[in-house]
Amino acid sequence: MPGWFIGSENIIKERGLWPENGLRYACEKTCFENETNLSCCCRKVLFYQPDFVVQKPAIQEFIEARGHLCDFYPKYHCELNFIEMYWGAGKLGYRKTPKTSNMADMRANVIDCLDNVPLLQIKRFSNRARRYIHAYIEGLDGPQAAWANRRYHGHRTLPPEMVRAAKEAIKSILE
């Protein structure tokens, strides 16, 4: 039946990769740490198949099919995602609003607080995130990227001399 999942075992058998003694469905979390054994479980066998490797997530295909760019940020890196900074500014504003017990009032307060973050500040958050991303691309580590970001606010990327200065500044501090 088109569109129905036929199961990992059947997919592996169709490809001629199913061993005689069989495979378990999944191993423990440490399974992917062992790169020498690529066929310890169904998940790992499928994970390393070429067509599974290049498959984009469904949400990414959905977004790109409608003509938009899909850009995923690393999880839990608020300095790389300006939306986290924007949300933080909105939460700061929400903390200053009077407490209410009515859910409709709370929703209205959240929307008002997010709307009250100035566009200029949102653009600055975006530029800060771009500078952090650029710093990491240039090979700076966390403290070096933070130092360079505090020192340089002018543009979306850090100038080459600032990248060199950040590396030298952190080295001198550590020595």
pLDDT of the chain, 175 residues: tens digit per residue: 677 778 888 888 888 888 888 888 877 766 766 666 777 788 888 888 888 888 888 899 999 999 998 877 776 677 888 888 999 999 999 999 988 889 999 999 999 999 999 999 999 898 888 888 888 888 888 888 888 888 776 666 677 777 777 777 777 776 6
On whether residue 150 sits in a domain, the answer given is yes
* Residues 139 and 93 grouped into a single domain: yes
17-49: burial string, b at 16+ Cβ within 10 Å, e else: ebeeeebeeebeeeeeeeeeeeebbbbbbbeee
Q: Which distant-in-sequence residues (6+ apart) come within 8 Å of 87 by Cβ? A: 114
Residue 37: closest CA among 52, 55, 19? 19
Taking CA atoms, 20 is separated from 13, 16, 17, 23, 65, in Å, by 11, 11, 10, 9, 41
On whether residue 19 sits in a domain, the answer given is yes
How big is the CA angle at 66 (ends 63 and 71), to the nearest 5 degrees? 30
pLDDT, position 10: 87
Q: What span, in angstroms and rounded, lies between the C-alpha atoms of 143 and 161? A: 17
* Residues 126 and 168 grouped into a single domain: yes
* Residues 87 and 51 grouped into a single domain: no
**Domains in the chain, number:** 2
- Residue whose tokens read 């990491």: 136
pLDDT, position 81: 85
* Residues 46 and 95 grouped into a single domain: no
Q: What span, in angstroms and rounded, lies between the C-alpha atoms of 154 and 164? A: 17
